Amino acid sequence: MSQWYNQELDSLDDNQLIELARENDEQAIACLIHRYAPLVSSRVAAFCGSGIEYEDLVQEGLIGLLGAIRVFDSTSSSFFTFARICIDRMLITAVRSISRQKQIPKHRILNFTEPNFQTIDENAENLVDDPAEIVIAREEFFKFKDKALNSLSKLEYGVLCSFLKGYNYEEIARQLDISTKSVDNALQRIRRKLR
């Protein structure tokens, strides 16, 4: 695989990379995205079946990761822990937002043929500064997505989908006509494969 960042940065620890990233070092940002791609991928997998496209969840996860890079305080916890929390919160917010939109009465939906520049302006502050960062990271995550999807068997995929929909072990076992032990074993394998 060709690297899209300076591999010499791999030897730096997270805190050093974060300092460089905050100085707008694009290579440091790319290195952090590459380093934490498996985390974003695994967190996104936990939200599959929530009514949002996988690629959209990946983008939300990336925005959470970039937000973590911007505000991380090394005196509070490890970056891994902080990034996971930020990614999860961004994904939860996206899922809740979609759920709310599904319940909005038609008379409360905005007309997008007339632009609301105040709303656009307010939301623009929350966007990532460089769209190229998202494009690069998105390409990298598609590779991870394919790896994750290709690494699960049909049984594991079925167990994962049912589990993410909120079914318990017994319900999954009945749906798939397998034992609860097989469900537990499949979930353990899935966790290992998606780490």
- The answer for residues whose C-beta is within 8 angstroms of residue 24's C-beta and 6 or more apart is none
User: Which has the closest alpha carbon to 61: 85, 28, 31, 81?
Assistant: 85
- Cα-to-chain-centroid distance, residue 32: 14
Residue 30, burial from CB neighbour count under 10 angstroms (0-12, 13-18, 19+): buried
Full pLDDT tens readout for the chain, 195 residues: 345 556 778 889 999 999 998 888 888 888 899 899 999 998 988 877 767 788 888 888 999 998 899 888 888 778 999 999 999 998 888 888 776 655 545 444 444 333 333 333 344 334 444 555 555 556 665 665 566 567 888 888 788 767 766 788 899 999 999 999 999 998 888 778 866
State the CATH class of domain 152-195: mainly alpha
Q: What is the CA radius of gyration of the chain?
A: 19
Q: Can you tell me the distance from the alpha carbon of 17 to that of 33, in angstroms, rounded to the nearest whole number? A: 11
The segment(s) of the chain belonging to CATH 1.10.10.10 are 152-195
Query: What pTM value is reported for the model?
Result: 0.51
Distance between the two ends of the chain, CA-based, in angstroms?
Answer: 20
pLDDT at 161: 67
- Spatial separation of the C-alpha atoms in residues 76 and 163, rounded to whole Å: 33
7-106+125-151: CATH topology is Rna Polymerase Sigma Factor; Chain: A (1.10.1740)
Every domain range in the chain assigned CATH 1.10.1740.10: 7-106+125-151
